[in-house]
Amino acid sequence: MDAFMLGVVSSLLATAITVVGGWLLSVRSRRWPVTVLSRLTGLGVRHVFPHQRQASQELAAELARARWVRVLAGRGNELTRDGFATLWQTPGSRLESVQVLLPDPDAGPGSWLSRRETEMRRVDLGFSPGILAEQVRINAAYVTEVARHREHVSLRFYDLPNLHRVIVTDNAAYLTMYRQSEHGRDSPCILAHRPGLMYDYALLLFTTAWEHSRPPL
């Protein structure tokens, strides 16, 4: 009997360890404490991705169901990739407007884009002078061509501190906090839902930059 009871207890203990271990490793369960705290404080934060690239799959799904989208990017490479394709290639969808902000590639020396380029050159030797501005021009040309065929798409340029990537929809905000010594894709990204203080902050960042931007020449 003692051996039987020991076996039962051991089995229960093993099961409990397995369940708890699975809970701890589950992405959904790790988000639960963040969600609860966020609701209590009014922040509206649902998750913090250690690296921006880890948010790509969820972001693509969010863009696919959005009514409107606001994008403030550091250079805009993602705009030409599959995750954003739904914004450019789905005529007749429920999408009402897409506003895109990119750094001003013609602002010249002393601009915030050139400062960001200097920062990146310290960690990536491929960033020769002017290459970041050239990448922005290529991505801007892509969005400009899309806008010729999609009247709800618009592009403007900003010359403000290049500190964030901001993507806001009518439901959620993805806010990347750029680090000086890392590529944007390696920087942390906050996912916040509406309503919430962090969502409002992300939308304010975009709106302020848009108000101080210029249209393409």
Convert the pLDDT of each residue in 125-178 to its tens digit: 777 888 888 999 999 999 999 999 998 999 999 998 878 899 999 999 999 988
Q: Residue 196 has what DSSP assignment?
A: S
Q: Are 95 and 66 in contact (CB under 8 A)?
A: yes
Calpha distance 57→80 (Å, rounded): 15
| Single pTM value for the model | 0.79
Greater confidence, 181 or 159? 159
The type of residue at 111 is S
Q: Are 190 and 48 in contact (CB under 8 A)?
A: yes
Mean pLDDT of 176-192: 79
Does residue 196 come out as left (phi exceeding 0), alpha (psi in the -120 to 50 range) or beta? left
Q: How many CA atoms lie within 13 A of 91 on its CB side?
A: 5
The yes-or-no verdict on residue 5 having pLDDT over 50 is no
Mean pLDDT of 42-56: 84
Among the listed residues 82, 75, 64, 83, the one whose alpha carbon sits nearest the alpha carbon of residue 101: 75
39: number of Cβ within 10 Å: 13
Burial bucket for residue 178 (CB in 10 Å: 0-12, 13-18, 19+): buried
Q: Residue 194 has what DSSP assignment?
A: S
Calpha distance 112→176 (Å, rounded): 17
What is the Cα 12 distance to its own chain's centre?
Answer: 43
The yes-or-no verdict on residue 209 having pLDDT over 90 is yes
Strand bridging mode 97-103 / 68-72: parallel
- pLDDT of 203 reads 97
